[in-house]
Structure 1
Amino acid sequence: MSKVREMKQDELNQVMTIWLSGNKSGHPFISEGYWESHYDEVKEMLPSSTVYVWESNREIKGFAGCLENGYLAGIFVNPKDQGKGIGHDLLTHIQAKYEVVSLHVYKKNEHAIAFYKQHGFLLQQEKLDEVTQEIELEFCYTR
């Protein structure tokens, strides 16, 4: 039985493993060292947001982090479990909770862009991420 629910504090290490592997596989245009260097910072910040996990048989296979204002910091699915509807379940859960959802995605991440567009997100603006020197797109969904 699978379900989307809020993360428990003792699941943070599992979630961070998915965060790191998901970023490395989803952003091959950014060095793996970039993600590794931000690991501790994200691990410290993550509990201050609302984190929804997708769980099946007591195993977390994906998660999404949201801020109170409906900003979606990211959806991450274990690379071996991608393409099974986990991201869809997480995103539709968030869309039901927040009237407006916004997010940023790298322009080179074409798979993610198509995913968000398929779920009703509209492009708002494009800008350069000064840290990675990659173009980032801002998308917004309104229920």
Structure 2
Amino acid sequence: MRTSQRPTDYPPLVAIWRSAVNATHDFLSEVDRREIESKLETDYLPAVSLTIAELDGRPTGFSGVLDGNLEMLFVDAEHRGSGIGTRLLNHAIKEQDARYVDVNEQNVQAVEFYTHQGFYLAGRSETDDAGRPYPLLHLQLS
């Protein structure tokens, strides 16, 4: 694993995001998916402290932390279930003091992943941060 803030790292991270979202976010409309993806390199990735997981020098997953919040954690669909997500989460907790994460309520696999890792439900919002109709669960580390 390595940290990065280099824009040259962004294109493979966008590809990982796309792969992960295609596998887990079937509730997102195509319009919303395209809008979010269009802002990854310009808004979302530069705003967080990134950690990139690699296998044989190739990025396979990444996380982003800001002010104790795990803002993003995505693993390439080909590598789901291989422990990369757990390693990224553990790094975010131990090295970046991540204690909070917001998860789309419809992403049941992610909710189960975080609760299995010791997070509990601390609140809920009817919409996501952009006001889209995707409820968020606000989770906090026990």
The TM-score with structure 2 as length reference comes to 0.89
Residue of structure 1 aligned with 2:87, choices 84, 89, 99: 89
- Counterparts of 1:1-143 in structure 2, within 5 Å, are 4-7=1-4, 9=6, 10-45=8-43, 46-67=45-66, 69-129=67-127, 131-141=131-141
CA RMSD of superposed structures (Å): 1.5
Displacement of 1:32: 2.8
Structure 2 unmatched ranges of 5 or more: none
Q: Which runs of 4+ in 1 moved over 2 A?
A: none
Paired letter, 2:63: A
Displacement of 1:126: 1.1
In 2: Cα distance, 1:57 partner to 1:108 partner: 33
User: Percent identity at matched positions?
Assistant: 25
Moved more, 14-23 or 112-121: 14-23
Paired letter, 1:137: L
CA contact (8 A) 1:30 1:132 kept: no
Displacement of 1:48: 2.8
In 1: Cα distance, 2:64 partner to 2:123 partner: 21
In 2: Cα distance, 1:60 partner to 1:95 partner: 20
Paired letter, 2:2: R
Give the SS at the match of 2:118.
coil
Alignment coverage as a number of residue pairs? 138
Paired letter, 1:30: L
